[in-house]
Amino acid sequence: MSEQRPIVVSGMRPTGRLHLGHLHGALANWVRLQEENTCFFFSADWHALTTNYHDTAIIKPAEREMFVDFIAAGVDPEKATIFVQSEVKEHAELYLLLGMITPLGWLERSPSYKEMRENITDRDLALYGFLGYPVLMTADIILYKATRVPVGVDQVPHLELSREIARRFNHHYGPVFPEPQPLLTAAPKILGTDGRKMSKSYGNTIDLGESAESTTKKIMGMVTDPARKRRQDPGNPDVCGIFYLHKVTSDAETISWVDVNCRSAGIGCVDCKKKLLEKLLPEQERMRERREALLARPGEVDALVQLGTSKARAVAARSMDEVRAAMKLKLA
């Protein structure tokens, strides 16, 4: 991979099976990005502790499943570096150093900090690690001198905080880090079975490669337009999670058919859901087959991750040599 290519960094927390939101919101984009960028895609296992500190036993098993999902979705370990965050200790060192210069007020205004504290009520999130996760996220990104970070529109404020932290570091110690630019993903937000954003934290997901029976049950039970009470009432697909899935799964003709007929009450929600399943179920089956083939060869997957982690560690070590020198923390 050429050093001249744009550098892309992104990661996911291993807190459970990946789902359709991950596929259409991130993984499909990663597969495209790996062709023309130097990509680092990682398991954010330390980030998983911010909300799953109470059940750490699930993290490592979920991590292997997650890497299987990466590869099954088309991430190529020969084109992109896949690795484990906690096995590159430089992430922790840079996190600590950035924490020394990050104002508390910057962290308290983070939109996701407020959102998750409101939505996750079954555990205490009034914790230093949860408040400070944007600093760790910044370390993850700038450690590899990332120039582009794939994000959805709702994540742009998070990246702007990382840019501010990188800017503050460069102001104090000299121009070590580029300010990463947002690389907006084309996919719309994917709604879960309850009408909220699809998220493991909310328990409203449809997992990648989930069985036909389970996928069908979840789709048929999904929340649609809450204002559409009767079959003959016109609907609004713009607020419907099923239509969001059509937009990333179905062809243009089907999307148009759903849009027109939902608004005119030409079809009911059951018709719309069945049409989605015609395309979604075969895709789920293909993903299930690829996942099972990879899970049958766990040693191969582990070796690919270990190789990627070694590559990431070498890049991170070079960056931290620069950081220590810039901060005068390194003996001449």
- At 253-268, the pLDDT tens digits run 999 999 999 999 999 9
259 and 181 in a common domain: no
166 and 51 in a common domain: yes
Give a yes or no: residue 197 inside a domain. no
108 and 94 in a common domain: yes
100 and 18 in a common domain: yes
CA-to-CA separations, 103 to 98, 110, 111, 112, 132, in angstroms, rounded: 10, 12, 16, 17, 10
What pTM, to 2 d.p., does this model score?
0.90
113 and 26 in a common domain: yes
**Residues 24-67: pLDDT tens digits?**
989 999 999 999 999 999 999 999 998 889 899 999 999 999 99
CA dihedral sign, ordered 193, 194, 199, 204: negative
Q: Domain count of the chain? A: 2
215 and 121 in a common domain: no
Give a yes or no: residue 203 inside a domain. no
Q: What is the CATH number of the domain that holds 277?
A: 1.10.240.10
Cβ burial 71-93 (10 Å sphere, 16+ → b, else e): bbbebebebbbbbbbbbbebbeb
101 and 36 in a common domain: yes
Give a yes or no: residue 149 inside a domain. yes
275 and 137 in a common domain: no
303 and 281 in a common domain: no
User: Is there a contact between 52 and 116 (Cβ–Cβ < 8 Å)?
Assistant: no
Give the per-residue pLDDT at 3: 55
304 and 183 in a common domain: yes
**Residues 126-144: pLDDT tens digits?**
899 999 999 999 999 999 9
For residue 30, the enclosing domain spans 7-190+298-326
| pLDDT band, very low/low/confident/very high, at 214 (cuts 50, 70, 90) | very high
213 and 170 in a common domain: no
273 and 134 in a common domain: no
Mean pLDDT computed over 218-237? 94
Q: What is the CATH number of the domain that holds 302?
A: 3.40.50.620
